[in-house]
Amino acid sequence: MEEKTNINLTSAEMSGLWTQYIGDTLAVCVNSYFLEKVEDEEIRPIIKWTLDTAKENVSIMQELFQKENFPIPIGFTEEDVNTKAPRLFTDTFFLNYLSQMAVSAMTAGSAGLTVATRPDVVTFHKRILNKGVELRDRTRDLMLKQGVYVKPPYIPIPDKVDFIEKQTYLTGFFGKKRSINSLEITHLYLNTLINAIGKEIVTGFGQTAQNEDVKQYFLRGKELAQKYVDTFSHFLTKEDLPAPISSGSTVLDTTASVFSDKLMMFHVTTMVATGIGYYGMALAASPRKDLGLKYISIIPEVALYVEDGANIMIKHGWMEEPPQAVDHDQLIQQ
């Protein structure tokens, strides 16, 4: 009987593994630096576990790529991080960052499982999903213990089951607006938090970037992130609901190079591109028109920011090309 792992990788499996490899090599660089700088002995084991997990993922994928004669992506290496550079972020940032990266890992694992068919690839994406869940549990538990976990707002439990009877439920511009529902609250809360940590990331990256166009790109990202934090918070506070409160800046004052501009640009553009998906989900879950149109206006603005970042990476030769289909027309013309 033919060995099932001899089945060729599908395009979806290639893209999932390729993307995961790039991301895990970045995680090795970032967490190597975090581990060198962390002072909190409760956070240290979580960083060490995350670093070990990323290294194991890289090793598994390298073995799989070699078996398939698939060119191993370059991704990021020790040349992209200076672990001896001064401290750039606080321990609180490390914990918040890892908590958010756990969400990204769960998303990646779920997406990979959705399209994977080969047993070894399915097993690998299950690993990514399970590790993401475990990291989320570890960070949540410690954040709750240390009093830095920001919970979503509380609302009353409904008295009874109701059905929507009037189309005014969808309005949101003129006259009396209905109160925002629990789904809308959830997405406003999540997008506020995501942009708050995104602002901290681009602030730190902007301080330590070497190229002027990269510095300006991160400065623009900082302004956009603050704009979105204010926007989403405003919707909550207008409903007499608490917006997520920042514990203050978690970025220190160093300007020394910590990560390569290549790594930082990839990290930010990938993070922001993922955010477009969050806004899309929020749009689908927000029937009140003023909320929906706000997300509609944000998505193209964010997409343009990602495109500008991609152009900077292409300009400097930092963007690796993912696997592509054969261009038969080009072959015919050769």
Q: Which two tokens stand for residue 61?
A: 């994928």
Give residues with Cβ within 8 angstroms of 11, minimum separation 6. Answer: 323, 325
Residue type, 239: E
CB 194 within 8 A of CB 97: no
Domain extent at residue 242: 173-315
Are residues 142 and 226 located together in one domain of the fold? no
Are residues 134 and 239 located together in one domain of the fold? no
What is the distance between the alpha carbons of residues 289 and 76, in angstroms, rounded to a whole number? 43
The whole model's pTM is what? 0.91
Domain end point (choices 130, 146, 162): 146
What is the distance between the alpha carbons of residues 99 and 151, in angstroms, rounded to a whole number? 13
Asked whether residue 196 is assigned to any structural domain, the reply reads yes
Name the nearest CA neighbour of 153 among 249, 55, 232: 232
Are residues 35 and 122 located together in one domain of the fold? yes
Are residues 142 and 196 located together in one domain of the fold? no
Are residues 291 and 213 located together in one domain of the fold? yes
pLDDT (0 to 100) of residue 1 = 36
167 class by beta-carbon count within 10 Å (0-12 exposed, 13-18 middle, 19+ buried): exposed
pLDDT (0 to 100) of residue 174 = 53
Split into its structural domains, the chain has a count of 2
pLDDT in tens, the chain (334 residues): 345 557 899 999 999 999 999 999 999 999 999 999 999 999 999 999 999 999 999 999 999 999 999 999 999 999 999 999 999 999 999 999 999 999 999 999 999 999 999 999 999 999 999 999 999 999 999 999 999 998 988 888 888 877 766 655 556 555 567 789 999 999 999 999 999 999 999 999 999 999 999 999 999 999 999 999 999 999 999 999 988 876 567 999 999 999 999 999 999 999 999 999 999 999 999 888 889 999 999 999 999 999 999 999 999 999 998 888 877 888 788 7
What is the distance between the alpha carbons of residues 142 and 196, in angstroms, rounded to a whole number? 20
CATH number at residue 236: 1.20.1260.10
Asked whether residue 321 is assigned to any structural domain, the reply reads no
Average pLDDT of the chain, as a whole number = 91
pLDDT (0 to 100) of residue 246 = 64
Alpha carbon 100 to its chain's center = 7
Are residues 254 and 294 located together in one domain of the fold? yes
